[in-house]
């Protein structure tokens, strides 16, 4: 089953394979506070790559910014 990811800037949401199959556009201009967050996400990914992690989500196919994995709530009843 394909993981669902979402863009950290725009409203795009979809399967990992859709984002990976499209050449990402150049990242669009965003306000300063969002830019700081994008830089922090890039630093985190660089550290993960240096430690051998190769499973970073692909960039957004719409705006080119970082994506994050959507964590779904469990449908299993508690108790």
Instruction: Convert the pLDDT of each residue in 7-46 to its tens digit.
Output: 999 999 999 999 999 998 888 889 999 999 999 999 999 9
Q: Which helix (H) or strand (E) holds 47?
A: helix 32-50
Alpha-carbon Rg for the chain in angstroms? 14
Q: Report residue 4's pLDDT band, with 50, 70 and 90 as the boundaries.
A: very high
Q: What angle do CA 40, 45, 49 make, to 5 degrees?
A: 150
In contact, 65 and 28? CB cutoff 8 Å: yes
Position 78 scores a pLDDT of 66
| DSSP state for residue 52 in the 8-state scheme | T
Q: What is the pLDDT of residues 53-75, one digit of tens each?
A: 878 899 999 999 999 999 877 77
Q: What is the pTM of this model?
A: 0.80
Taking the alpha carbons of 9, 13, 19, 25 in that order, is the dihedral positive or negative?
Answer: negative
């Amino acid at each position: 089953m394909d993981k669902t990811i979402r863009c950290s800037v725009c409203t795009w949401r979809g399967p990992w394979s859709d984002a990976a199959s499209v050449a990402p556009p150049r990242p669009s201009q965003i306000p300063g506070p969002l830019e700081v967050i994008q830089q922090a996400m890039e630093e985190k990914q660089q550290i993960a790559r240096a430690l051998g992690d190769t499973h970073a989500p692909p960039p957004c196919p719409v705006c080119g910014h970082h994506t994050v994995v959507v964590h779904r709530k469990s449908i299993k009843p508690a108790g």
